[in-house]
């Protein structure tokens, strides 16, 4: 029996007149990496943000591990917010623009969530945070402020901050798009390590070559639906859909 860690059914979301998600369904087994591909405006970032409830879907069910939320039946007010918070706590989010807290040191960026939100003891959290920093190659930067780091280092702190929450799933929203090309590699290397360590990850990216190497499954989104789903070999190597082929051609030409 496969252990399904993420299960998304009938996910819908519109911003005003614009239907961004029009019924997205997929699932991801534990310990796998799922890469979301698609042209801009296809809804891939919205899928990711829905998992973390940064955007609240209008309808559909999201289950991560043992927490499941039916957004069609989300109670209003406090109860709904509590449910959303429980789902959010299942995942860690890595942003395109890292969104580190500029007034906190690297170590404090990592400990903030576990100590303040999860109310875990500081010394235990600090010890774990140092291990994580070591893992992303930044053990010596614990007391630096974010502005003192390079873009790649900042993004690696962003990843460590997400991991410090001990989430069931790590979500990456275009983690390398804001980086100078020479800094992309170090970040991708860290993400690849996570995947091989058994973390369940979900990655929105334009790095096709990286997706081929790291992904267990690739979802191609267009127009708010999953157009094609399969292994990297299937979706990237031998796409069945014309829309997928067109997209890949365009990205690979420019990339």
Partner 1 sequence: MLLLLLGFLLPAPATAQPQQPVVRVGTEGTYPPFSFHDPQTQELTGYDIEVVEAIAAKAGWRLEFVETQWDAVFPALDAGRIDLIANQVSRNPERAARYGLSSTYTYSRGVVVRRTGDDRVKSIDDLAGKTTAQSSTSNWAKVARDAGARVEAVEGFAQAAALLQQGRVDAIVNDNIAVLDYLASTGSRDVEIAGDAGQAGSEQVLALRQGDTALLTQANQAIVALKADGTLRGISEKYFKANVSVPDGGDADLSQGRGSRSTWEVLRSTAWPMFVGLVKVTIPLTALSFAIGLVLALLVALARISPYKVLSGLARAFISVIRGTPLLLQLFIVFYGLPQIGLKFPPFTAAVVAFSLNVAGYAAEVVRSAILSVPRGQFEAASTIGLSYPQTLRRIVLPQAARTAVPPLSNTLLSLLKDTSLGSVVLLTELFRESQLAAAESNEFLALYSFAGLYYWVICVALSAAQKRLETRLNRYVIA
Residue 18 in contact with partner 1, rule: CB under 8 A? no
Minimum Å distance from CB 170 to partner 1? Answer: 11
Minimum Å distance from CB 117 to partner 1? Answer: 3
Q: Using CA atoms, how far apart are residues 74 and 173, in angstroms rounded to an integer?
A: 25
Contact predicate 34/201, CB 8 Å: yes
Minimum Å distance from CB 173 to partner 1? Answer: 10
Residues 6+ apart with CB under 8 A from 135: 160, 190, 193
Minimum Å distance from CB 148 to partner 1? Answer: 7
Residue 161 in contact with partner 1, rule: CB under 8 A? yes
Span interacting with partner 1, options 11-19, 58-66, 98-106, 198-206, rule CB under 8 A: 98-106
Q: Using CA atoms, how far apart are residues 193 and 176, in angstroms rounded to an integer?
A: 16
DSSP secondary structure letters along 171-225: EEESTTTTS-HHHHHHHHHHHHHHHHTT-EEEEE-S-HHHHHHH-SEEEEEETTE
Residue choice 73, 79, 85, 127 for contact with partner 1 (CB under 8 A): 85
> Whole-angstrom distance between the N-terminal and C-terminal Cα of the chain?
39
Token look-up 């502005």 returns 147
Minimum Å distance from CB 163 to partner 1? Answer: 11
Q: Which is nearer to partner 1, 148 or 177 (CB)?
A: 148
Chain residues binding partner 1 by CB under 8 A are 52, 54, 85, 88-89, 92-93, 95, 97, 99-103, 112-113, 116-118, 145-148, 161-162, 165
């Amino acid at each position: 029996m496969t252990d399904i860690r993420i299960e998304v059914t009938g996910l819908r979301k519109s911003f005003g007149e614009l239907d961004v998600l029009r019924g997205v369904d997929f699932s991801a087994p534990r310990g796998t990496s799922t890469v979301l591909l698609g042209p801009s405006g296809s809804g891939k970032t919205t899928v990711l943000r829905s998992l973390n409830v940064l955007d609240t879907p209008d309808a559909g069910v999201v289950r991560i591990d043992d927490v499941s939320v039916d957004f069609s039946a989300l109670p209003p007010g406090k109860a709904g917010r509590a449910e959303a918070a429980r789902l959010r706590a299942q995942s860690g989010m890595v942003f395109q623009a890292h969104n580190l807290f500029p007034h906190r040191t690297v170590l404090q960026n990592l400990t903030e969530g576990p100590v303040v939100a999860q109310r875990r003891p500081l010394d235990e959290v600090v010890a774990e945070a140092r291990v994580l920093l070591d893992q992303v190659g930044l053990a010596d930067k614990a007391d630096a402020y974010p502005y003192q780091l390079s873009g790649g280092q900042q993004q690696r702190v962003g990843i460590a901050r997400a991991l410090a929450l001990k989430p069931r799933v790590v979500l990456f929203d275009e983690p390398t798009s804001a980086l100078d090309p020479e800094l992309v590699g170090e970040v991708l290397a860290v993400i690849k390590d996570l995947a091989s360590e058994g973390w369940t990850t979900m990655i929105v990216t334009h790095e096709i070559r990286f997706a081929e190497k790291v992904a267990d499954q690739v979802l191609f989104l267009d127009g708010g639906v999953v157009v094609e789903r399969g292994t990297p070999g299937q979706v990237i190597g031998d796409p069945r859909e014309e829309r997928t082929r067109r997209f890949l051609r365009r990205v690979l030409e420019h990339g």
